[in-house]
Structure 1
Amino acid sequence: MTEYLTTPQGRRIAHHRTEGQGPGIVFLGGFMSDMTGSKAMFLQDWAAAQGRAFLRFDYSGHGQSSGAFEDGCIGDWVEDALAMIKALTEGPQVLVGSSMGGWIALQIARTLPDRVKGLVGIAPAPDFTEDSMWAGFSEAQRVALMDQGRIVIPSDYSEDGYPITRRLIEDGRGRLVLRTPLSLPFPVRILQGTADTDVPVSVALRLMDHADCPDLRLTLVKGADHRFSTPECLAMIATAVNEVSV
């Protein structure tokens, strides 16, 4: 059953929580995705079968949560995630971050290191607003974004494209994790498909090289795309969660 929690910032966040043993598992979704995606639902069922606590939720402006997507930014969604973890989980958690959720997981690890048991990144996309979006914009797009406050870019996942706001880009610059030391004092597993056209393998390699982590492993899956949702890929996610839960 979907429940709602109002964050300290006044945003109403839709979530689904399954009771169970720890360490709990928190799924952090991607940009413009919601908590009903195949990876989130698979993990919920898997966690239930293991008797593990599990939490999935929609960031503000996503899915069933309050707010408009265009009004949000990385900082808002990090606040949403922190509020959910603080209010709805107990003890150390395993963070499973998909794409943008991988960046948000790294932000949580910086803010609440004592609450992180381990981290699984599925094609994690740290700093993507700067290194993928802004870096990939034409000069005309950059001018339009700064002057008009928004542009729309094409997307394989939406016929209408993705609205990108000046606030999203500027807030992202204050949230970058690959420019300063990144300590991850817990097990980390990164899963990455070689056929991912949204987040290339180079991002995972850069994160692996940059992070200060005593137990970090990167698994490359030949032919897997950004969705990483085939039965084989989903099984690999479960295996990774088990590895970082010990």
Structure 2
Amino acid sequence: MVEPSFHDTAAGRRIAYHKTEGKGPGVVFLGGFKSDMEGTKALALEAWAKQAGRSFLRFDYSGHGQSSGAFTDGCIGEWAEDARSVIEAVTKGPQVLVGSSMGGWISALLIRELGKKCAGFVGVAAAPDFTEDSMWRDLNEIERAKLKREGQIFLPSDYGDPYPITRKLIEDGRRNLVLREPLQMPFPVRLLQGTADADVERQVALNLLDNIRGDDVRLTFVKGADHRFSDEACLALLIQSVEEVLA
């Protein structure tokens, strides 16, 4: 495995990343909740970028993968800060953001902040506002009281150990909601969603579609695809969608 480079943010967090040099607009992959930059989609996009001679960036948020910090210390706003800091530090010119799951939420926050540096958006099982509209919504009164009292609870996960959910994560997520007002995206947007996704309801994809203001916005449902969206056909569709946005 090639060792990553590191970027130190103004907040003192050390972000691990891999940068592929090439032509622009560049492509940036933003991973999901408790995921890292060594996932199937990130590596498939990197291989495509190298073959296409395209600039590409993948990285780990703080508390994820090879970056500094503990996962339980982080939250949506800080992970968005990590993403913005490394993007501004190591990329040049416009970038197409590819956001997977939570990365779709992070992308929406960055698009509001980065303006013309964003040249397009591809959402893969994008999960904006999930801390409020999924996690908090689905907690019962006992769990909510325990979270408020103890500052942390654990939720079961299909991907390994239970997820530690902190009061900080929920409260910060509430301050960073993006589906409560229109999202201005004046560039090509492609949203990809599997119908067998057990983590992100298909209504989330429809809500995101309805909320985006733009002239070139498409949502594609893939029958039978799950949340990972990483089999051969899904990866081919992801790459095709990125190429469409770049074109």
Give the Cα separation in 2 of the matches to 1:188 and 1:204: 12
Distance apart, 1:180 and its partner CA: 1.6
What 5-or-longer segments of structure 2 have no aligned partner? none
Give the Cα separation in 2 of the matches to 1:227 and 1:20: 28
Distance apart, 1:105 and its partner CA: 0.4
Q: Does 1:161 align with 2:171?
A: no
State the SS of the aligned residue for 1:22.
Answer: strand
Aligned to 1:146, which of 145, 148, 166? 148
State the SS of the aligned residue for 1:97.
Answer: strand
What 5-or-longer segments of structure 1 have no aligned partner? none
State the SS of the aligned residue for 1:24.
Answer: strand
Letter in 1 for 2:74: G
Distance apart, 1:127 and its partner CA: 0.2
Partner of 1:205: 206
Give the Cα separation in 2 of the matches to 1:183 and 1:43: 26
1:69-103 deviation per Cα after TM superposition (whole angstroms, max 9, x unaligned): 00000001000000011001001001000000000
1:11-50 to 2 correspondences below 5 Å: 11-50=13-52
Letter in 2 for 1:95: L
> Deviating runs (4+, > 6 A) in structure 1?
none
Partner of 2:82: 80
Letter in 2 for 1:139: E
> What is the TM-score of this pair, normalised by structure 2?
0.98
Q: Does 1:113 align with 2:115?
A: yes
State the SS of the aligned residue for 2:162.
Answer: strand
Distance apart, 1:210 and its partner CA: 1.4
Aligned-pair Cα RMSD in Å? 0.6
Partner of 1:104: 106
State the SS of the aligned residue for 1:155.
Answer: coil
Letter in 1 for 2:22: G
Letter in 2 for 1:18: T
Give the Cα separation in 2 of the matches to 1:61 and 1:10: 13
Distance apart, 1:166 and its partner CA: 0.3
Letter in 2 for 1:55: L
Letter in 2 for 1:220: F
Distance apart, 1:174 and its partner CA: 0.7
Letter in 2 for 1:106: A
Distance apart, 1:211 and its partner CA: 1.4
Letter in 2 for 1:185: P
1:93-145 deviation per Cα after TM superposition (whole angstroms, max 9, x unaligned): 01000000000000010000211110000000000000000001011110000
Distance apart, 1:239 and its partner CA: 0.6
State the SS of the aligned residue for 1:244.
Answer: helix
Distance apart, 1:52 and its partner CA: 0.1
Number of residue pairs matched? 245
Distance apart, 1:212 and its partner CA: 1.0
Give the Cα separation in 2 of the matches to 1:114 and 1:170: 30
1:156-186 deviation per Cα after TM superposition (whole angstroms, max 9, x unaligned): 012x200000000000011000002211111
Partner of 2:239: 238
Give the Cα separation in 2 of the matches to 1:190 and 1:42: 18
Partner of 2:8: 6
Letter in 2 for 1:24: G
Moved more, 206-215 or 148-157: 206-215
Letter in 1 for 2:54: R
Distance apart, 1:213 and its partner CA: 1.5
What is the percentage of aligned positions where both structures have the same residue? 62
Letter in 2 for 1:60: S
Partner of 2:217: 216
Letter in 2 for 1:183: Q
